[in-house]
């Protein structure tokens, strides 16, 4: 078992550096790849530091800290930056953004001088005499940091999904369920940190927990690297999309808008069938109707009581039902009819069709 754990850790280290290089040379590279590459390198460095560097240092250094891995303070803010960039390609790293890494730099500004001046220095003796206080403070900061960022990341992914449904009629490429699964690993890391914190306060031996964090980081590197290569930046060509902005799916129902625009929209959907285009977006439909994107969004939300995604896919479902009801519909497979109606894939077709009819496409056809 020990050998398996060591293999996973060593493979994670190599994979982190390798995937970072691969991500920056990937032809399908999106704007968030640089952030992901930095994140993978940080995680690999964290494992190297925890498994090799700190062990050698403590052979001749009496470190008053029970924290063995300061790079933990860098990882979770970097995940937040990656998700932020993934949803908003216009997001740029700035001096203000660098403040997210302040806990790490504060820790290093205290620890590094103590290391270089030796254990007999005034700073080192002060830290050693107050080790329990400093240990508790550092671990408390880590726990707060992970709590805040995990909450923000979950919130960002939720907003990301909702904004996609406001803009796109096909959200297959926007599926961030893998990211939520990945975040579960960091919930585990958070639980380990909490356990370490309790261990530090009671001065227990928590070395095995450091090893566990290294294993979790190694497995996370595999998931992040693989998914990151294929993940696209969804909103890169859409103006006025800001992932971090709050979303209001429910518009003010009392607000009046031109009823003629609503009739134009419904007539256009019936006669021109733009929903048959799988990649139809709110922006492209607004251009076809010669109206503003926000104006069209308001009409759909306030008048139809749904988002753009449901609005378009409801038409696609009705188109499939119409085609199935025709005598000629017996000559085509369900998938062929679904593609003609604008559905991008079989899985999406089955999910949406059942959502609006309560039946699978096959059951509905049998009922006819």
- The rounded distance, in Å, linking the Cα atoms of 85 and 49 is 27
| Selection from 300, 309, 303, 301 nearest residue 351 by Cα | 309
Residues in Cβ contact with 35 at an 8 Å cutoff, skipping those fewer than 6 apart:
78, 81, 82, 85
| Selection from 130, 73, 121, 65 nearest residue 100 by Cα | 73
Residues of the chain within CATH 1.10.10.60 domain(s) are: 259-367
CATH topology of domain 2-230: Rhopdopsin 7-helix transmembrane proteins (1.20.1070)
Contact predicate 48/229, CB 8 Å? no
- The rounded distance, in Å, linking the Cα atoms of 343 and 349 is 6
Q: For the chain, which residues score pLDDT lower than 50?
A: 64-67, 237-256
Q: What is the pLDDT of residue 248?
A: 43
Burial annotation 103-134 (CB, 10 A radius, 16+ → b, else e)? bbeebeeebeebeeeeeeeeebeebeeebeeb
Q: What is the pLDDT of residue 197?
A: 62
| Selection from 356, 284, 288 nearest residue 319 by Cα | 356
Measure the CA dihedral 302/305/306/311, to 10°: -90
Which tokens hold the place of 306? 């749904």
Question: What's the whole-model pTM score?
Answer: 0.72
Phi first, then psi, for residue 168 (nearest 5°) are -115, 150
Q: What is the pLDDT of residue 258?
A: 67
CATH topology of domain 259-367: Arc Repressor Mutant, subunit A (1.10.10)
DSSP for residue 299 = I
Contact predicate 271/319, CB 8 Å? no
Contact predicate 229/22, CB 8 Å? yes
Contact predicate 299/261, CB 8 Å? yes
Burial annotation 182-214 (CB, 10 A radius, 16+ → b, else e)? bbeebeebbebbeebbebbeeeeebeebbebbb
Q: What is the pLDDT of residue 265?
A: 92
Contact predicate 341/323, CB 8 Å? yes
Residues of the chain within CATH 1.20.1070.10 domain(s) are: 2-230
Secondary structure of 24-60 in HEC code, one letter for each residue: CCCCCCCCCHHHHHHHHHHHHHHHHHHHHHHHHHCCC
Secondary structure of 97-124 in HEC code, one letter for each residue: HHHHHHHHHHHHHHHHHHHHHCCCCHHH
Q: What is the pLDDT of residue 242?
A: 41
């Amino acid at each position: 078992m020990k050998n398996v754990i060591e293999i996973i850790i060593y493979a994670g280290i190599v994979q982190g550096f390798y995937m970072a290089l691969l991500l920056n040379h990937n032809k399908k590279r999106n704007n968030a790849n640089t952030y992901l590459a930095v994140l993978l390198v940080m995680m690999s460095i964290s494992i190297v530091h925890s498994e090799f560097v700190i062990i050698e240092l403590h052979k001749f250094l009496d470190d008053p800290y029970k924290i063995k891995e300061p790079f933990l303070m860098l990882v979770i803010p970097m995940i937040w930056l990656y998700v932020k960039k993934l949803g908003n390609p216009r997001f740029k790293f700035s001096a203000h953004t660098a403040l997210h890494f302040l806990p790490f730099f504060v820790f290093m500004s205290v620890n590094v001088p103590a290391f270089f001046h030796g254990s007999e220095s005034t700073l080192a003796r002060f830290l050693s005499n107050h080790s329990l206080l400093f240990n508790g403070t550092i671990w408390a900061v880590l726990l707060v940091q992970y709590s805040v960022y995990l909450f923000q990341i979950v919130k960002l992914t939720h907003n990301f999904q909702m904004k996609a449904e406001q803009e796109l009629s096909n959200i297959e490429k926007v599926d961030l369920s893998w990211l939520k699964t990945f975040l579960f690993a960091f919930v585990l890391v958070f639980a380990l940190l909490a356990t370490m914190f309790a261990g530090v306060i009671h001065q227990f031996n928590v070395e095995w927990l450091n090893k566990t964090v290294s294993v979790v980081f190694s497995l996370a590197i595999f998931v992040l690297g693989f998914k990151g290569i294929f993940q696209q930046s969804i909103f890169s060509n859409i103006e006025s999309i800001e992932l971090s902005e709050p979303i209001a799916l429910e518009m003010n129902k009392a607000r009046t808008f031109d009823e003629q625009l609503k009739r134009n929209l419904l007539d256009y959907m019936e006669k021109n069938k733009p929903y048959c285009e799988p990649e139809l977006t709110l922006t492209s439909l607004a251009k076809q109707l010669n109206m503003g994107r926000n104006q069209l969004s308001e009409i759909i939300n306030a008048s139809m009581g749904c988002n753009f995604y449901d609005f378009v896919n409801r038409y696609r479902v009705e188109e499939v039902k119409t085609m199935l009801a025709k005598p000629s519909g017996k000559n085509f497979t369900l998938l062929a009819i679904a593609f003609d109606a604008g559905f991008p894939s079989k899985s999406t077709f089955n999910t949406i069709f059942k959502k609006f009819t309560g039946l699978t496409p096959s059951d509905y056809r049998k009922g006819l």
